[in-house]
A and B are shown apart, each in its own frame.
Chain A
């Protein structure tokens, strides 16, 4: 009874006050009651703000959503508040509350437990409420979710490909690959996504990274049936591991096309929702691709985007429509972030190229090649110096493309850079990713070129699309890198191969790094599709992008 509840409170209070005023020795029970009351008063003071919202929530739920047990127990706390402060606030209360305060002295521990339980259920209920989008204040009653514009304490999980030296992590990965099989299909014949083994002696500084051999691709000993991994993904993985598809833009576009194939071949199994099931289907594919070659930052961002789009598909959407929508999203992503971005970057860069310039480029960056071809179309007269390095020799590909267009070129190896740099007026570099602390992650050798250019006072311009910006920070090229096949370093000159049996010699190691980081003081300007920014403005762009999304 509402009255019962209200009268009980003041009664109890009178007892306590009587005991205090009389100064008599309080009984054990009275002392316990006093302590409990003080605790509850403190808690009720905290919950005073939530009292009104809780009450409205309770009001809506009085239809019988939550169990009756949960209802009275938060009530005592809200009741205490008005009773301690003698301001009677009439609350509509179900009668079941009455017995609870009356049994209070005997049930001290039980009540505390019940209170805790009630608080948890209230949180859960409020979370449910916010998910269904019922009431605004319910969201604030639940745990306050930090909006993306606020600073969040970031505790990120360290990616697995950087913890090769930790045997527990490797065991966990093997288990994860097993778990990601679609259950029920091949329960009898358990075909596993294989775990790729490392190859050769690893330099001790890099023992935390994988080192695979190109001669032993993942699928050589094993045939992976299409029920486990979609054949388009298997083909993509092999193309990655053999280096047929290389370069961060090319890899992202190939990945997105493969995912389009996967989505169009997908059928929702019965009793499953497309939004949740498709995301689960993609997980083993991504693990497989990661085994073939560690994912790049651009691929990671693309995958995040796809997963977000899939989980945002409303449940009442028909399968055909949902698939069409997803395919459309992917097309838009490729168009906006890669193709149109390249056009915008070319437009900005052409302002920086003038007649008579000698431009130095390193390796084969699709974006930089595009810029140079566009500039040549605009009839600007310039000369290009292509710098190349072993063992990938990607510069030859860039040289072919530029010479085909008719651009006059010079070709040197990276050890001759300090010979040729006095003739150079500008350096254009491509990037694999831009890190949040302003460092540029790019092909190994880029930082060296930037260093020598700085020593000769030649401006260094980095061209990068915004979808390659990532949240990570890194200060050196050791902690997070990729080790390529060490056998690539072996070369035969004049019939003699010096390093042929490098595996037999114990103390000899070959190191074939793929990426390195350039500090921001070597870079003068970064040209992105949002404009021309200094290297240190990368976290600002990331923040703006997050708020937009």
Chain B
């Protein structure tokens, strides 16, 4: 639990010390009051009236003021107050309307001093004048307030609130003659003690009874009032009209309110019912309590700060018959538990982030991100540890967008909309999709499509002489399927996701993990067996700046069907003279676990631009001639799909799955496919791409998916006889037990195509109805409806 450390206030050299502690009373307390020495507290209730000494570790009962054999109603206290100037003087308000004063200095056991029996009903509140030793004020349920001079037998003056019960009376600390009173009807009145005829000022403070009020000890014009409307309001009484300064919204009706000493904006409240906790509020932070004391198990009835200049110790009495001393530092602080930040990853990769405003403010002065769209992710804000609870807290809410490639989902939408998934030859689909991907800057994906095309489509006539494409000179070769990529661009587009996670244990586990600044993938495959009719040449370009390494891969693809075809080595120009390449092939071939005879280096095709930032991929067209069965690649393609799916690009997985159809379907288990489909469809729907989603459902080869379209289609049919909705399946109406699918023209049961008017529910054989409508637009059943068929 978080604890706020607070130094015990020094009080004229002697500091108050103590612990959070409680003691059990014999009976529920109604009110408490502290002696001015801060060492004793009086507890009063219906059947309790005791003084306790507040010691270091415990409360010690000092005096029981309830004496006498039979308890008098005069002792049933609604309120008690200890004079702040005279340690021996106390006053109680009795539930029978009597105001009693007590003199602790009396030598006898009975300390009762005076008895004023002027109020007719319960006295709710008594209050001593802050500076005048003999002046006592009382407020009663009977609607009157009385001022007593303790030297006289009767009240000096009576104030009539001209309204309902008085709930609280409090002498102003600022003005000698002023006191405030609060009423059950929501009013607050301000009186001059010299003028009992009428109040100085009156205003409506609350909706419903105002149970309590308290003058601010320092800001003397401030009056806090608490009401049944669960609010505490702070009024500035110095102005001509009482001005509402603050309004604290508590959880339950406010029974007591007490300003916290030495803390200008803090006040403590307790509730009359439901809520047993004591709260300390910062009035500038009206919604969250600054501190909360949760010790009591029943309604807290009295609260008092132990010393008028010490903000740490709060005493409380409760209906649960306990007296407690609370230490502020032991309070639970809901604010500390409160989450100061909100964070949400939006659909489009945007990020909503709400953070405390005070933190934002320190940052906004710096404006480090103005004009720089690339870096604003970090917005560090400093919390001022000295003042964890300053003022009104507020939050700034910002929405951040990702730049393409890093997390934005715009590519997803574009891609989904533009991809062609069916209706054209495979080669065209692949080319189209590759083009789409390339235009969106997704080179890895584009390349994948291109390779898929190469793998699964025979390319037509390819000049055999161009078996090898030197990458550096690629453009001069003028080949139709030359792919060149600027790796720098690519790596940006792909971010750190650029990797091809080949099936583990495969050939190039080392080369796969390249520096994320540049990675390339190839669909080379080493799993095939002996024989090599055609070398498929892939260049793996790694542009790690310092090394300028180029990996040359020359897997030789087996083709068992054409074993006799062996390509003469001379056909392949050797290109190994090109810089720095040697490590490539050896390196890879060493790693290769495939059983194939590593192609002689002569077979290796070549390449190699030396420019570190620019590399190309070349794919030998010879591949096409080989007529490798596409099956041959399917394991690889499946791995590729899984890779994309794992990267979160389920779109690619599903698109390829659809485009390739039967070619790869069987190699991926049904469940995985379903999962991809459902994930992709769900994503499409989130992006409101209903058409694409529907197309995907339609094209899906998975049974569970393609039935989704049917599952969401409902036909509502009415019986043609009774016109009521057909509830059961089939064509027999539950209600009139007739077959509903009768042709209105030929009066036979329709089997096959049934057409009906949605207006009158009549219909019949499609042919018959069509013929009928040529002659008449009215319903053939004779119901007179002008039937409409669309």
Binding partners A and B: no
State the B residues within 8 Å of A (CB). Answer: none
